[in-house]
Chain A
Amino acid sequence: MSSGGFPIGSEDTTRIGAEHVDREARRLLSDASDSSDGRLGSPVPPVRTIVLDREPVPVRPVPEREAVRRSLAAAGPQRLQVSNLSVAYGAKLAVKSVSLSIHEGEVLALIGPSGCGKTSLLRTLNRLTELTPGSARSGEILLDGTDIHEIEDTVLRSRVAMVFQQPNPFPMSIFDNVAFALREQARKRPRRKELEPQVLDALRRAGLHDEVAEDLHKPALRLSGGQQQRLCIARAIASRPEVLLMDEPCSALDPISTGVIEELIHELRRDLAVVIVTHNLAQARRVADKVAFMYLGDLIEYGTAEEVFEAPRATRTRDYVMGTFG
């Protein structure tokens, strides 16, 4: 910072430096507010202050956005229909009246800054938020046309499976980890032989089969982090769910393991609807077909990945995807 010939750390220079930075920032801010609706084509991304409590302003009027959203209904059959969903923890509203639909054969990425409600939204889709004391929900979530609150929680969660941020295999063997997902759904405990084809199939679909085929009896905790996460995916898809929810599945992994999982997501999309929460915009760009941008509990933008990243309709979305805040 204090370059040039100035002695580092002397009181005067640091004060001057701070003033300079301040002036520079104010200049940039005023520039940004001049071109508040600035085109995306502008070379330098505008710097703007984010006022946390201010209502975000959509650029296009709501009816127009609705029309665009309707035109998006494509891909496979619709699996989940979320309408006017709000989630609150005590007095705090985490998700505010969000509506979107989730289709088979596509990956929906939920993006947005920390605390914007994307994880809350995700956890409401398989009713995990219910486990948090003081949580409440309004609005409607339909799974294949049935309200998820009419479905028994255990049945719902085997149809809408979930993978977590932290790889969390259970303290048992690799085989049993996957078999556990299948076992207790049946009243009568099935034998190992009967489960074996399903377990191997799940491991194969999760791209883990060849690496662990010889070690199925070994404790799952011996696997590497990336393998553990793929085991968790195998476990989640073993019961052939319709929707797979992923809560930042790669944030605890190294780049290579992340790449493997992203490829896997591409594959899984063929017979599943995937919803992925991610902080990593590059990842959202790589894996997502549709992107939903959330901010302070509001769904600001929802559209195809191309639209959201290349031609966002809301200024807030544009600032976020360009890395101005986050």
Chain B
Amino acid sequence: MSATAGTGLIAGRQPRRHGKRSSLRTWRWVDRLVFLGAWAAGLGLCLIAAGIVVYLAVRGIQYLKPSMLVSRPQAATSQAGSGGFLDPIEGTALLTAIGVVLALPLSIATAVWIVEYGRPSWLARVVESTIEIVAGTPDILIAVFGLALFQLHLMAPFSATGEGGGVVGRSFIAAGAMMSLIALPPIFTATRDGLQAVPRHMREAAFALGKTRIATIRRVLIPRVRANIATGVTLGVSRIIGDTAIVLLVLGGTLHIETQSSTPVLGLLRGTGSTLTSYVFDNSPAGEGEAPQKAYAAAFVLLILILLLNAVVNRIGKGNAHTITGAYV
């Protein structure tokens, strides 16, 4: 736009987007080094990321057959006989669902309490830093803690039990509970930030209509931050999908989804299983499965899932920005 205005004003001059800038040669040496370093670091990271994606895509497309997505894995000595990875896909979906179902109400309630009530303030600070600690805890520690927790006799109803009544401490419920700890910080942070961004007059408008604080939260504030919550959930989901430590330790990492009893839902929830990440680990040269081709194919599927989720996050983020500007013009 500025270019057309420029041509209109100064005849015979090429439209330029920028005016003349100082040449790199006039810069100090330090500035030149930092400038080049910044470019190199940015491009280098792009190359590494692109390398991972391209490598996995080539290998994945090479080995992935549609039948793998719908057939169960088999214990076999040869790669050809080891079947597909239906169970890990189902395991991923189930575990993600449990994790989100547990984390969502907990994190929204915490965020609402912190922003809308937050009294006493020292307690609010403690709660916030606790969540930060959880966010910074390595997942393997959360996994070990989960194992210790669910192996208690008290927790027997929630996990697989051994022959003699010993509590194994591994189940979808146990792993889902630990996964919810991983998904909680992003959902909490997104919701809290969203609530803090709601202008004060929005709350006062509801109060001025004779609404209670709780009615305001339920009918005005939560709908208002729905997009933030969605962003948080998507981030949480991609963290759950990408986690391996908890799956190996607390879900069991078994080849098949093993139901604990014949009770329809509970039997499944108390049972053990695996996810795509643990499947990739097991079949990689580092694991026991010795089926690297399957590992590549599963890794490719995992990558596609994560990329899709990232796209969803971006989409939601943009949608959110749109509604916010829409509200204030």
Q: Which residues of A approach B to under 8 Å, CB–CB?
A: 126, 128, 131, 153-158, 161-162, 164-166, 168, 170-172, 180-181, 184-185, 221-222, 225, 232, 235-236, 239, 245
The answer to whether A131 and B207 touch across the interface, beta carbons within 8 angstroms, is yes
Jot down 27 A-B pairs with beta carbons below 8 A, ordered by A: A128-B208, A131-B204, A153-B207, A155-B210, A157-B208, A157-B209, A158-B209, A161-B208, A161-B209, A162-B204, A164-B208, A166-B199, A168-B201, A168-B205, A170-B219, A171-B220, A172-B223, A180-B219, A180-B220, A181-B210, A184-B212, A184-B215, A221-B327, A236-B209, A239-B209, A239-B210, A245-B208
B225 to chain A, nearest CB (A): 9
Q: Is the CB of B210 within 8 A of A162?
A: no
Give the residue name and chain of the A residue nearest to B213 (CB): A131
Complex Cα gap A126–B210 (Å) = 9
Tell me whether B42 is interfacial, beta carbon within 8 Å.
Answer: no
Q: Mark contacts of B191-216 with chain A using CB atoms, 8 A cut-off: 1 yes-contact digit, 0 otherwise.
A: 00000000101101111111110010
B164 within 8 A of A: no
Give bound CA distance, A171 to B207, whole Å: 15
Q: Which residue of A lies closest to B323 (CB)?
A: A221
Q: Which residues of B contact A185 (CB under 8 A)?
A: 210
Q: How far is the CA of A170 from the CA of B41 in the complex (A)?
A: 45
Chain B: number of interface residues, binned into ranges? 20 to 34
Cβ A236 vs Cβ B326 within 8 A: no
Q: How far is the CA of A172 from the CA of B329 in the complex (A)?
A: 17
CA distance A181 to B211 in the complex (A): 8
Against A, the Cβ 8 Å flags (1 = close, 0 = not) of B129-170 are 000000000000000000000000000000000000000000
Whether A232 and B205, one on each chain, are in contact in the complex, defined by CB atoms closer than 8 angstroms, is: yes
Query: Among B199, B201, B323, which residue has the most Cβ atoms of chain A within 10 A?
Result: B201
On chain B, the residues within 8 Å of A236 by CB distance are 208-209
Q: How far is the CA of A103 from the CA of B278 in the complex (A)?
A: 74
Closest 3 CB pairs of A and B: A158-B210, A162-B208, A157-B210
Residues of B within 8 A of A166 (CB): 199, 201
Which residues of chain A have C-beta atoms less than 8 A from B329's C-beta? Answer: 225
B residues in contact (CB < 8 Å) with A: 199, 201-202, 204-212, 215, 219-220, 223-224, 323, 326-327, 329
Minimal Cβ-Cβ distance residue in B for A159: B210
Residues on A with C-beta less than 8 A from B223 are 170-172
A235–B209 touching, CB < 8 Å: yes
- Given the interface contacts A171-B220, A225-B329, does A157 sit within 8 Å of B207 by beta carbon? yes
Are B208 and A170 in contact (CB-based, < 8 A)? no
Q: Which residues of chain B come closer than 8 Å to A154, judged between CB atoms?
A: 210-212
Q: State A161–B207 Cα separation when bound (angstroms).
A: 10
The answer to whether A180 and B209 touch across the interface, beta carbons within 8 angstroms, is yes
Chain B nearest CB, measured from A247 CB (Å): 9
Complex Cα gap A115–B208 (Å): 22
List chain B residues, Cβ under 8 A from A232: 205
Nearest chain B CB to A204 CB, angstrom units = 19
B201 contacts across to A, CB distance below 8 A = 164-166, 168
| Closest Cβ–Cβ distance, residue A277 to chain B (whole Å) | 14
List chain A residues, Cβ under 8 A from B210: 153-158, 181, 185, 239
Residues of A within 8 A of B326 (CB): 221-222
List A contacts of B206 (CB < 8 A).
170, 180
- Residues from chain A with Cβ under 8 Å of B224 in the complex: 170-171
Q: Which residues of B contact A162 (CB under 8 A)?
A: 204-205, 208
Chain B residues contacting A221 (CB-CB under 8 Å) are 323, 326-327
CB distance from B328 to the nearest CB of A (A): 8
> For B205, B209, B327, which residue has the most chain A Cβ atoms within 10 angstroms?
B209
Q: Distance (Å) between the CB of A205 and the closest chain B CB? A: 16
Residues of A within 8 A of B215 (CB): 184
Most-contacted residue by chain A among B199, B201, B211, B323 (CB, 10 A): B211
Q: Which residues of B contact A131 (CB under 8 A)?
A: 204, 207
A170 to B203, CA, bound (A): 10
Compute how far the CA of A245 lies from the CA of B208 in the bound complex, rounded to whole angstroms: 10
